[in-house]
Structure 1
């Protein structure tokens, strides 16, 4: 056997490639040897790192496993297919990026809660790095994230999280919201932008210390640009895998559009407000997020201690609070109304419960929540079935980690797949059916399920979960109390097929709100 042949045989034996060893022993001529070298090179490029969770076998250079996914772009569908074939922990390459899916509640809890100190990092992704610059609350890491989140939690609690002062702000906005709907006089209209305005104004009152009129041009431009920003990121999602495509002429993947929208929001809305707060700052009158942040910056500056509290971080935090706080809650309200159109009996049952407990003379309040279990069950079922955040925000490990016998590389994108939990028929039985009663026990009380994780779980659980739950309860109960929602055409109901983007949103639809 030649020297080359001997070397090749040694290589095959080292990697324990038995079928190649057998074939090679019978084909030792140089030509065959070169063929085997080529085969080995292709195999080497296509192989996954040893120990990573199971997934598609042949990973191609550059493309990764994308050919085996048959053009599917919905991450939920991809994860469902992978789970069916490879189990609760599986992996797939999108381009050169390794995605690892955690597909059961038990696995997610073990990673995000029991091992939260390891699994609480954020991975580097093109769009999130571009938009947030890894600053702010949602996509930052390490000490920066800890400092921003700690400040945000303390400040939002100070301004009313979990207290009646916040409920009063929500009630104030709901009154404006209801009046705009009443002016439609039962005519059909699109609630999409209206729901965004109502929810965004609650965030505005907390961040800026004021609300906007619904016809305010600055407010409307901000909402337009925010929506455009999210749509552009969705349209250009391929850049998350192949970022070099942003240089293709013509802004085909909306890279420049995102930059333009981002710059407009910062330069025309956020930065002017920060400058105005700095100019008129009075430490004895701190009544919104920006002024509280400025006070803390000045306090830290006097100590001379290093800190991540600065103006750039504040800009990113404001973006996080506005976009995350507006998009998710307003979308959930739209899903709720849509399910009412498809299930008028459920809407009628909610109305009866509200009438029995609250009546028509006052607004529902958080004190009524324990007495309105069916309404709460409906909201929980909407959160479960609509699954606004879909697979959840990506995580990363702080270092190469062994978990359940698999290697989780530091640079892997880890998906704690909420969809796998919220649609699991073993947990929810008839998971595909919209059935609020699944959250009501035999005594008529709301069932609290650990597996109900629409806001994620662990250290990275949604910062605004308590605010979102309060908003949803107060908006839904008041809307049902004041209006009966009807379809424009009873024989042609709006589709329940959602649109997959940054969030899972319903297709825009028209509705009639008939005053009670």
Structure 2
């Protein structure tokens, strides 16, 4: 009688081999933080969803403050809660301050600049940039003058709308970008300047395309497929446009006109220091290639976040007209309408400052920050962080933590004021991140936000168009930005 249960040794070996391969493809290395079951080849990609904040919040409830997921075949470790973030990037900053290598970062930056570099090159570039921006901001008040100059042009553009409904996105972006232009290039552009418009469009498109192109960080060979499914070629064309039409010509012009005794913008300051170190034969990373990339980094960091914060503020004003009116009354009582606000007025306007802080907290503009990594295998809170692993800092888990804020889903500026009406600064307020990689332009961004918003509130009342309220459910991309909405700017008499 035929034995239907008889199995050949070859079949058994084949089954064992398949099971072994599946085990290798789905197992987690010893010591890696816990996380969901990874599927062969794709890891946890299929279960990520369009908003990682939602996915990571659920995983945190299941696995704790430190967990890992797999993006295809690469692990990614997620840190949640203020305690874990502080312990990693403040108390253990020596090992948690590096940027990970990735195809896009390495291909675009070529190991230059600020955002994608690590080690001594990053430290020297950051130190110089920070000192220079600080000098412009605090030493001679150059920064405040440049912001005021731009605000004047910005308000004129608002007035031309004559109280009609319009989308202010591009106008705000133009103004904020021009502050960066004034600081770096020593000049601003008219909002209708074709080169300026082309430059801003290229930046916009790259922010929009970065999500699709991110797949290439895991599977870089896909860029060779026919067509441009992952927007890689468009990104490269946009980067070339930014470099060839604005950055390179500006550097060339500065080199031709440079005068060590007339240093009034970032490029001239960089050239002066670069030549000084060359003359003294110091080892330095300050060179023209790094300057080109630093300029690009400063533009990307300084334009998107500040523009987005101003737009979120307007969206929250439409939903909370009482907050807007309270801000105006505070400005009216302490400054009036006959002169423009200045940074010296900041201490007189605690409610305005609290409102800006609440927008930064609630709007969650950079919920994942930029990724970190470790330069070698690291033991942290009982887990092994393997060399080069992507480490994601969930700022969202701190800024929206109910244990810290009580009612984080509510928009309530008063949470930042004490019983006497003075500002309360909580250490968990980290919209610009923390540690050595804290946002380089934080001081500049805070100055811009205060001066732009106080002047806007002083001059205009912002109301919805035909009662249509903007959505408070934003769009997750490289940042968390509000959806497009219309607004009316009614001049205050």
**Which TM-score band applies after superposition, normalised by the shorter structure?**
over 0.9
How many residues matched? 486
Find the residue that maps to 1:91 and give its secondary structure. Answer: strand
Shift of 1:367: 1.6
Q: CA deviation at 1:29?
A: 7.6
What corresponds to 1:190 in structure 2?
167
Do the aligned partners of 2:89 and 2:96 also contact (CA within 8 Å) in 1? yes
Residue from 323, 335, 357 that aligns with 2:334: 357
- Give me the whole-angstrom Cα distance separating, in 2, the residues matched to 1:317 and 1:429: 40
Question: What TM-score, normalized to structure 2?
Answer: 0.95
Write the deviation string for residues 188-246 of structure 1: whole angstroms up to 9, x where unpaired: 11110111111111111110111111211111111111111211213333223332222
Distance in 1 of aligned mates of 2:449 and 2:248: 30
Aligned twin of 1:62: 41
Measured in 1, the distance between the counterparts of 2:362 and 2:111 equals 31
Alpha carbons of 1:428 and 1:28: their partners in 2 closer, same or farther (altered >3 Å)?
farther
The structural deviation recorded for 1:324 is 0.7
* SS of residue matched to 1:189: coil
CA contact 2:25–2:41 (8 Å) conserved in 1: no
Q: Take 1:231 and 1:242, find their aligned partners in 2: how far apart are those partners? A: 20
| Residue 161 (structure 1) shift | 4.4
Equivalent-residue separation in structure 1 for 2:185 and 2:9 (angstroms): 77
* 1:233–1:407 distance in 2 versus 1, CA, 3 Å: same
Instruction: State the match for 1:319 in structure 2.
Output: 296
What SS does the aligned partner of 2:487 have? strand
- d(CA) in 1 for partners of 2:258 and 2:142? 23
Unaligned runs of 5+ in 1: 1-26
1:45 matched to 2:22: no
Structure-2 separation of matches of 1:243 and 1:188: 44
Match of 2:319 among 325, 337, 342: 342
Gaps of 5+ in 2: 1-6
Tell me the SS of whatever aligns to 1:190. Answer: coil
Deviations 1:479-508 (A, max 9, x none): 010000011121x21211111111111111
Partner deviation per Cα, 1:315-363 (whole Å, 9 max, x = no partner)? 1000011111011001100000011011111111111111111111111
Equivalent residues of 1:162, 1:466 under 8 A apart: no
Calculate the aligned-residue CA RMSD, in Å.
Answer: 1.7
Q: Distance in 1 between matches of 2:448 and 2:282?
A: 38
Task: Classify the secondary structure of the residue corresponding to 1:514.
Answer: strand
Deviations 1:58-93 (A, max 9, x none): x233211223x1x51322222112111100000001
Corresponding position: 1:509 with 2:485: yes
Query: Quick check: which has more Rg, 1 or 2?
Result: 1
